[in-house]
Every structure is written in C-alpha cells, then in structure tokens.
Structure 1
Amino acid sequence: MVDLFLDRVLVENNSDQDEFNTEREIIGILENRVLLLFFASAECEKCQRFVPVLNSFFRKLKDPAYIEYPKLLALIYVSLDQSEEQQKKILKELHKRTLFLAFDDPYRKELHAMFKVKDVPAVVVLRPDGSVLSPNAVRDICRLGTDCFRNWQESAELVERTFMLNEEFDDPNLRSTTDPVRRLKYKTEDDKRNKRWWKLWVKGKDGNGEEEKDEAWDMKRKSGDGGIWRKR
C-alpha cells in the first residue's frame, strides 16, 4: 500500500499544508495502517451529503478528544473536482489529518482508473499490503459507523501495540508507552535498596563486636535472670 505513494507528494489538510514527499515520510504516515481512498467531487450532491458523515467517522477514530488511542487508519482524499476551488471546498469539511494529492497532480486520475471507481462518493479500503479490503465502504460507514473499523482491523490483522503493553503489564490504567520504562526504573531502584540493606545486615553480622553483643543478649535471655552474663 505504501508503494502506491512512494514517488508522490501527499499534503496534510492542516493550516500549514505540510507536504510528505520522501520515502521515510510516506512510510511513516502510511505503513501498518488501513488506508481509505476517498473519491469524490464537490459537484456531486451525494458526495456533499456524505462528507460530514465521513469526517465524523474519521474524527472519532483519530481524534484524542473522542478516543484514547488513535486508530491505525489513514484517509486520502482523491479529488475528481474540476477546479482547485471545488477541491478546497471539500477539504475544508474534512479532518485536518486527512491527506490529499495536489489538484495539478495527474496521479489522481490514475488512481481513479486503477481502482475502477464508477460511482462517487466511493471509499476504497486497502490493507497495509495494498490489497483491496472493500471496493466501496460508503454504505458500511453510513450504516455501521466506527464499528466497521473493527472488522477492517481484524481482516487486515493489525495489532495495536498499545493494547499489547496493557496486556503485558496487566494494568488497565496504563496510559503511556513510557510506563514500562518507569516501572523497570522503579523496580531496579527497589532491587538496589534491597541489596544495600542485605550488605549492611551481613556486614553487621560478620563484625566481631556486633556478633558478641548478639550472643551475650541471647545467653542473658536464656539464663532468665537480670544479672550480667560474662563470657569465659
């Protein structure tokens, strides 16, 4: 799936219009994710009605305000618009984490032909290996909402590493991937304190003065009197 965009420029739909064009950047934003290719046009009334639905769907899966762990999901808008202004109109409604191809990029039409998109709106769902999971998920998104992502995740065999950390440490309140590091740090410090205590105890036991005091106290208790026991 990453190979589809390795030689392309993807733009993020934020205020800075950040561009991703190096192999490292493209892999970083697309690898190990379910990819949604959203084909639409501002001239299409169905597309205009579907945009708020898709935007809400994506926001609830990616925005920390709605979900604790953003899902392994990427959304790319493939514009079939007739003008750049039309493209901007739809992008204005989509989440700021949405990616898109520049209006003057001919690859938009190549993707349209590659995935044989006949009707719009269309959401082509791809597994991380690039295989098609759903040729058009518009109906599923409208009917099932965010629940359909669970089916995609299972089919794509994606593994949420954050959940693995929770299971490994058996702590339902784990909130950060740095928690295991802190736990190891504290465990190590506890071990060090225990070792220091053990060394002091052994040292005191091996010292002649301390050992004689302990022995004298033992014999005094055994004698049962209050007198002072003297070692012969």
Structure 2
Amino acid sequence: MVDLFVDRVLVKNNKDQDELDTEREIVMRLQNRILMLFFASAACETCQQFAPTLSDFFKQLTDEFYVDRSAQLVLLYISLDQSEEQQESFLKELPKKCLFLAYEDPYRRELEVMFNVEELPTVVVLRPDCSVLVPNAVDEILNLGTRCYRNWREAAELIDRNFMLNEDFEEKSMRSFSDPVRRLKYKVEDEKKKNKKNKKRRGWGGGGDEGVEADRRGDDKEGGGSPW
C-alpha cells in the first residue's frame, strides 16, 4: 500500500490541512493498515447520502470516544469533483482524521482507472500489500456497519490483532492483568499513610484516649490536681 503513495503528497483533513510529504511520514501513516479509498463527488446525490454513514463508520473504529485503541484503518478521499470548491465542501462531511489528495493532483484520475471505478460512491478496500480486499464496500458498510472491519482485519492478516471495541472491554471485569496488583499497591500505601497520621496525632497528644490519658498524667505530676 505504501508503494502506491510513497512519491505523493497526502493531506490531512484538519483545519491546517497538514501535508504528509516525506517517505517516512507516508510509511508511518499507511504501513500495516487497511486502506479505504473513497471515490466520490459532491455533485453525486448518492455520495452525499452515504458520506455521513461512512464518517460514522470510520469514527466508531478510530475515535477515542468509541474505542480504547484505534483500528488499523485509513480513510483516503479520492475526489472526482468538478472543482476545488466542490472538493472542499465535500471534505467538511468527512472525519478530520481522513486523508485526501489535493485537487490539482492528477493521480486522482489515475487511481480511478487503476481500480476500475465505474460508479459513485465506491469504497475500495486494500490490504497492506496493496492487493484489493473488497472492490466496493459501500453495501457492506451499509448492511454490516463496523462488523465488516473485523472480517477485513482477519482477511488482511494484520500483525496486531489486539483491537477491541469499548463494549467488548466493558464486558470484562478487569481492563488488564495488572489491575489487581495496582489496587493492592494503592491500598497498602493508603494504610501506611493512615498509620503515619495516627502516630503523629498520638505524638501531639491530640489523637485517641491514649493522648488524653497522657495529658492527665502530666497534669498530676506538675501539681495540676487537687492540693488535698
């Protein structure tokens, strides 16, 4: 997959539209990930209708609000818009973590031919080795939602298989094997702190019956009792 874009400039769909323009940046962003190439146009009514669904799909798999760990998934918008203004307008409907090719980049049309895009919208799903996993995943995303990513992940044989949805984590009583150790550690530390506080209070004569009794004995020795 990296080979497809190693000499290209990918743009982030954030406010500053930061560019990934070095080989290292491209590799770090795309390596060992499933890539969704989203071919669409603002002039396409079906694309407009599908965009919110795709956006929610991607967010539920990559946004920290929904998952404890982001899926190994990249969304790249391949604009087939008729103008840069149309492209900018359509990008507002897509997640900020989405990437895209600049409107003036002719590689957009090359990719359209390369993957034989005949209808819009089209979502071509690629394995990390650039081979096609799903020629057009639009219907799959509409019908299965985030469940289809699990199928892709298994078929793509990604190295890291530790991704879980929040709901999967909530079904478990503990989030990690070290939780009981941490809890015991903090409990012991709390007990030590309490004991230290109690010792200080006794030393000041202000804590418990022993402190009061000590004060009484001191008063008797100093002649503070009855003269008779």
TM over 0.5: yes
**TM-score band, normalised by shorter chain:** 0.7 to 0.9
* Structure 1 equivalent of residue 22 of structure 2: 22
Distance between the aligned counterparts of 1:41 and 1:95, measured in 2?
A: 16
1:82 matched to 2:82: yes
Distance between the aligned counterparts of 2:18 and 2:118, measured in 1?
A: 31
* Structure 1 equivalent of residue 50 of structure 2: 50
* Structure 1 equivalent of residue 176 of structure 2: 174
1:137-189 deviations in whole A, cap 9, x for unaligned? 000000000000000000001133656xxxxxxx95239xxx8xxx9xx9xxx
Matches within 5 A, 1:1-232: 1-160=1-160, 162=162, 172-174=174-176
* Residue type of the alignment partner of 1:84: E
Offset, 1:131: 0.3
Distance between the aligned counterparts of 2:24 and 2:156, measured in 1?
A: 22
1:63-105 deviations in whole A, cap 9, x for unaligned? 0001111100000000000001110111101000000000000
Structure 2 residue ranges without an equivalent (≥5) = 164-172, 186-228
* Residue type of the alignment partner of 2:27: I
* Residue type of the alignment partner of 1:12: K
Q: 1:25 to 1:145 in 2, by over 3 A?
A: same
Distance between the aligned counterparts of 1:90 and 1:156, measured in 2?
A: 29
Distance between the aligned counterparts of 2:118 and 2:35, measured in 1?
A: 19
Q: Secondary structure at the match of 2:43?
A: coil
Q: Which is further off, 113-122 or 84-93?
A: 84-93
Q: 1:103 to 1:37 in 2, by over 3 A?
A: same
Structure 1 residue ranges without an equivalent (≥5) = 164-170, 187-232
Q: Secondary structure at the match of 1:74?
A: strand
Identity over aligned residues, as a percent?
A: 60
